[in-house]
Amino acid sequence: MGRILVIDDDRAFRLSTGALLEEGGHDVRGVSDAQGASRALRQERFDLVLLDLRMPGLSGIELAEALRTQGAAVPILMISGFGTVESAVKAIHSGVDDFLTKPVEPEVLLSRVDSLLERRPDPEALDAPLAGMVGRSAAISKVFSELRQVAGSDATVLITGETGTGKELAARAVHELSPRKGRPFVAVNCAALAEGIMESELFGHVRGAFTGAIGDRRGLIRGADGGTLFLDEVGDISPGTQQRLLRVLQEREVVPLGSSQPVHVDLRLVAATHRDLAEEVRHGRFRDDLFFRLNVFRVAMPPLRERKGDIPLLVESALRSTEGSRTLSPLAMRTLLGYDWPGNVRQLLSALESARIRAEGGMIEAQHLPDEVRMKTSEDQPEDRYRMDVEADTERAEILEALRQSGGVRVRAAAMLGMSRTTLWRKIRDYGIENVNP
């Protein structure tokens, strides 16, 4: 059994297919276009998407590409009345897992659906934290998916995002999920190294290379041989260091300062920055050839203000690892949710540690939180809440109208809405309209 989203502008096909799948024991929801699909996918988690090729607005292929770009791991089965070899190949390249041409024999459809459901990702695995990263929001789930996707290769990864979003944790996750796990993971904070010692620290030197070089030094790059080198704040390195780093990426060799003999290195490079490197290139502050070498696979870490739904999980994880003050009052939690966190997860963890100390082992109350958190409320929160309320009100109105047109017969209303009967009954309960007379 699985939860299946059917996306097709042909209402008759949508309803008949939904009925067939429900007879097979599946829970089905139907929508007519990409907009309805986007809304459904925000509201619920599905095990399979059954998608039409030609629809108003975004085509099926464009929607599949959008879902994959957003990190959606749900299997996609495309069905089209205009099937050609060319369209099938294009669909597979866009991220579709299987392709069928209408009309489809019921046995064939059910067989393909069952096959794809066997390959669906494990929800617990998708939600599992990586290298200490915590969250279940769509934004962080996309990051988890991308990190898992790239980890098995040796591709260079560029992690972007504001300070405090967890870029080093993401880099460690790539290493821990890769075949290089168990080998060295060398992290270098480029912003913390003075320019005068940056090259010596990274590339090493031989005795006599400069005043004070009384012996050979391997350097951090050679220290990462066989494993992963993580360059944090790579946008802060000097032009000269950029050129030498480019050679490491191109030739997989490093030349220590004071030497002319290159040394081969086998490493995987992960870089991170809070800067817009493309903008730095346009202003001549960063080499374009190095940027292209770094920007093979990009992972964008979301700011905490865009994943506030993860704050309770982050709080629970942080307090679980400390002694005393293991709970927050409801007002304290609302205060955390109402703040925009310009310092992101790092600032949240610091605020919790400060509050835990002030609470002296008891429950953390709002007054224990730092002043800047308590005194400044979010400007975006009311707008977000308003948008969510409008979506809920719209769906509630649609259900009431369907019940009115069907004379209160829920089976007919479910068919009109493109929902399964169980989904409709659940929504009627959630919206508190069980006793409303349409």
Query: DSSP string covering 11-32, please?
Result: HHHHHHHHHHHHHTT-EEEEES
Instruction: Kindly report whether the global pTM for this prediction surpasses the value 0.85.
Output: no
**Does a structural domain hold residue 218?**
yes
Question: Which residue is it, tokens 């600032």?
Answer: 347
pLDDT tens, the chain, 438 aa long:
788 999 888 888 888 888 899 888 888 888 888 778 877 776 677 888 988 888 777 778 888 877 765 556 678 888 887 666 676 777 777 778 888 887 888 888 998 898 888 766 555 444 455 767 888 777 888 898 899 889 989 999 999 999 999 999 999 999 999 999 999 999 999 998 877 678 888 888 777 666 767 768 888 999 999 999 999 999 999 998 999 899 999 989 988 888 888 899 999 999 999 999 999 999 999 999 999 999 999 999 999 988 887 888 888 888 887 776 678 887 888 889 889 999 999 999 999 999 999 998 788 999 999 999 988 754 444 434 434 444 555 667 778 777 877 777 777 777 777 677 777 887 887 777 766 565
CA distance 380 to 303: 14
Residue 78, beta-bridge partner list = 51, 99
DSSP strand pairing (157-160 vs 297-300):
parallel
**Does a structural domain hold residue 190?**
yes
Question: Which residue is it, tokens 């579709």?
Answer: 96
Question: Which residue is it, tokens 């008949």?
Answer: 16
**Does a structural domain hold residue 348?**
yes
Which residues does 25 contact at the CB level (< 8 Å), separation at least 6? 1
400 and 277 share one domain: no
Question: Which burial class, exposed, middle or buried, applies to 353 when counting CB atoms under 10 A from its CB (0-12, 13-18, 19+)?
Answer: middle
371 and 387 share one domain: no
CA distance 396 to 393: 5
Strand order in the sheet with 157-160: 185-189, 228-232, 268-273, 157-160, 297-300
Which of 82, 97, 121 terminates a domain? The answer is 121
60 and 116 share one domain: yes
**Does a structural domain hold residue 400?**
yes
Whether the Cβ atoms of residue 346 and residue 164 lie closer than 8 Å to each other: yes
DSSP strand pairing (76-80 vs 98-101):
parallel
pLDDT value of position 393? 54
Structural element, H or E, at residue 43: helix 34-43
Count of structural domains, the chain: 4
Phi, psi of 42 (to 5 degrees): -75, -30
**Does a structural domain hold residue 438?**
no
* C-alpha angle 236-202-259 in degrees, rounded to nearest 5: 130
How many Cβ atoms from other residues are within 10 Å of residue 351's Cβ? 23
Which tokens in the block code for residue 161? Answer: 């995002």
333 and 395 share one domain: no
Q: What is the CATH number of the domain that holds 413?
A: 1.10.10
Range of the domain at 364: 305-375
Q: What is the CATH number of the domain that holds 10?
A: 3.40.50.2300
Q: What is the CATH number of the domain that holds 309?
A: 1.10.8.60
Phi, psi of 187 (to 5 degrees): -105, 130
Structural element, H or E, at residue 358: helix 344-359
CA distance 175 to 227: 8
Strand order in the sheet with 27-31: 27-31, 3-7, 48-52, 76-80, 98-101
110 and 148 share one domain: no
Give start and end residues of each alpha helix (H) in 70-194.
85-93, 106-118, 123-127, 138-151, 167-177
Whether the Cβ atoms of residue 296 and residue 149 lie closer than 8 Å to each other: no
102 and 155 share one domain: no
pLDDT value of position 142? 85
Question: Which burial class, exposed, middle or buried, applies to 337 when counting CB atoms under 10 A from its CB (0-12, 13-18, 19+)?
Answer: middle
Which tokens in the block code for residue 150? Answer: 């790239």
56 and 100 share one domain: yes
349 and 272 share one domain: no
**Does a structural domain hold residue 437?**
no
Question: Which residue is it, tokens 């409801």?
Answer: 330
Q: What is the CATH number of the domain that holds 223?
A: 3.40.50.300
Which tokens in the block code for residue 385? Answer: 């809440």
CA distance 117 to 47: 7
Whether the Cβ atoms of residue 92 and residue 99 lie closer than 8 Å to each other: yes
283 and 168 share one domain: yes
241 and 337 share one domain: no
Which of 121, 146, 179 terminates a domain? The answer is 121
341 and 399 share one domain: no
369 and 386 share one domain: no
How many Cα atoms occupy the beta-carbon half-sphere of 57 within 13 Å? 12
Whether the Cβ atoms of residue 304 and residue 344 lie closer than 8 Å to each other: yes
**Does a structural domain hold residue 91?**
yes
Which of 273, 300, 327 terminates a domain? The answer is 300
pLDDT value of position 380? 41
Phi, psi of 179 (to 5 degrees): -65, -15
**Does a structural domain hold residue 277?**
yes
